[in-house]
């Protein structure tokens, strides 16, 4: 039997459990306002998906974050017209004052139970390292004003979050979303979150996505800054069209693999471990690494690990690791294992000072497993069973990766200097 739609269930429970005043607060309180995440009874404060009011907002980066982005939202009903209005100056939500606008593509999520609509507004021609303020509008119903910061041009310093596996444990996911919001509020140099996949338990059920999207509102800062997502696809999103409907088809070619260049000297290659790792995808990876050999920092993001802390190796070990080593990749970010890990540097199946380091395994909310820390590649590395997110600090002289727990503690720090390529 399918679960009751989460919004309907929440409304029924709230109506029974709390007073009318608390109910009104639940429906109108804006998300992302510091500690105001819950009502007095403990129920979650999120934007209701109702009518054509924009809700479940997210901002997506792909290839060119200095100049382009997609702003997406959900509506309960099909709007006749959805538009994003935006500007490089704050306009306090007055939709008549924003200088720019982009019409959104509207479609219905593919699901038999949750019949809601996605709205994707693609914007381009943006200026690098610039704050843009925006409002989502569907048939006259407008969101509050949000903002984000575009990626840099040139040889710039910046910070980036990485994490995966936010499925199954909703309370833990909310905790990690609040942690990412706190990190963004504490450190405005953070630009975006690269997600390693497994957002939800069942990627073919909109009800699971419905909860994830509402919880994702918690990553918005108190002053309305939105954290862009650079999405990667996990095995729990392997089937069905919903992943592409949520994130506007990352990669735009059906394979969900693509490259992101942040500034001139940081390359992130997002790969899809749910399809063939060889063939077209391996060719793509080699072309990208070869063509960007002059880029100082090179990283990859994919779901199924080549050097896992819990499971057996995925096909990345055969098809991608030789290319990582051939072109001297700095760090490979992996998810799926539900544990924290950092390997020793690895080359040709052995520990080597000039090898590639594999970090991650997924800690954005899923219940953590016990890592198999006796595996040879953890000698000189680290493993732990703890929720976590990685923070990358990118400078001209050093790439630093800190693994931060749900409590905000730095559990592990890895540093590497630029390689010769």
Burial 114-131 (b: 16+ CB within 10 A, else e): bebbbbbbbbeebebeee
CA 40 centroid distance within chain: 30
Residue 8 confidence (pLDDT): 43
Query: Cα separation of 169 and 228, whole Å?
Result: 22
Confidence (pLDDT) at 345: 98
Distance of CA 297 to the CA centre of its chain: 20
Q: State residue 198's pLDDT score.
A: 96
Domains of the chain in sequence order: 1-46 (no CATH), 55-149 (2.60.40.380), 158-416 (3.60.21.10)
Cβ contact 239:201 at 8 Å: no
Amino acid 421: pLDDT: 78
| End-to-end Cα separation, the chain, in angstroms | 56
pTM for this structure?
0.89
**Mean pLDDT per 10-residue segment, the chain (421 residues):** 42 34 33 45 72 97 98 98 98 97 97 92 98 98 98 97 93 95 97 97 93 95 97 92 96 90 98 95 98 97 97 96 98 96 98 97 95 96 97 98 97 96 78
Packing angle, helices 206-216 and 6-17, rounded to 10: 60
Per-residue pLDDT at 38: 57
């Amino acid at each position: 039997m399918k679960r009751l739609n989460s919004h309907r269930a929440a409304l029924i429970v709230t109506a029974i459990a709390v007073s009318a005043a608390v109910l009104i607060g639940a429906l109108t309180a804006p998300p992302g306002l510091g500690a105001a995440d819950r009502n007095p009874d403990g129920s979650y404060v999120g934007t209701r998906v109702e009518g054509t009011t924009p809700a479940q907002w997210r901002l997506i980066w792909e290839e060119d974050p200095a100049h382009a982005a997609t702003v997406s939202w959900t509506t309960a009903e099909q709007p006749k017209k959805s538009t994003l209005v935006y500007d490089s100056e704050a306009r306090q939500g007055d939709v008549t004052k924003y200088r720019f606008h982009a019409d959104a593509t509207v479609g219905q999520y593919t699901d038999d139970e949750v019949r809601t609509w996605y709205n994707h507004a693609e914007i381009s021609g943006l200026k690098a390292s610039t704050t843009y303020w925006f409002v989502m509008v569907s048939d006259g119903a407008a969101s509050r004003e949000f903002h984000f910061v575009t990626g840099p041009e040139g040889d710039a310093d910046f910070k980036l979050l990485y994490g995966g596996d936010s499925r199954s444990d909703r309370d833990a996911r909310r905790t990690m979303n609040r942690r990412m919001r706190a990190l963004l509020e504490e450190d405005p140099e953070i630009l975006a979150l690269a997600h390693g996949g497994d957002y939800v338990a069942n990627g073919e059920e909109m009800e699971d996505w419905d909860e994830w999207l509402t919880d994702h509102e918690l990553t918005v800062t108190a002053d309305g800054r939105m954290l862009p997502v650079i999405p990667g696809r996990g095995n729990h999103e392997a089937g069905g069209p919903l992943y592409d409907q949520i994130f506007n088809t990352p990669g735009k070619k059906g394979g969900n693999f693509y490259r992101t260049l942040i500034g001139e000297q940081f390359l992130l290659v997002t790969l899809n471990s749910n399809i063939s790792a060889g063939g077209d995808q391996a060719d793509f990876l080699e072309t990208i690494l070869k063509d960007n050999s002059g880029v100082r920092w090179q990283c990859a993001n994919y779901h199924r690990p080549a050097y896992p802390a819990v499971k057996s190796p995925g096909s990345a070990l055969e098809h991608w690791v030789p290319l990582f080593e051939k072109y001297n990749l700095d760090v490979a970010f992996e998810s799926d294992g539900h544990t924290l890990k950092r390997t020793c540097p690895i080359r040709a199946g052995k520990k080597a000072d000039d090898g590639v380091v594999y970090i991650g395994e997924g800690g954005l909310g899923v219940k953590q497993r016990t890592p198999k820390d006796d595996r040879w590649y953890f000698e000189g590395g680290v493993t732990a069973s703890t929720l976590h997110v990685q923070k990358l600090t990118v400078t001209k002289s050093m790439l630093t990766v800190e693994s931060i727990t749900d409590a905000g503690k730095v559990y592990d720090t890895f540093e590497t200097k630029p390689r010769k390529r």
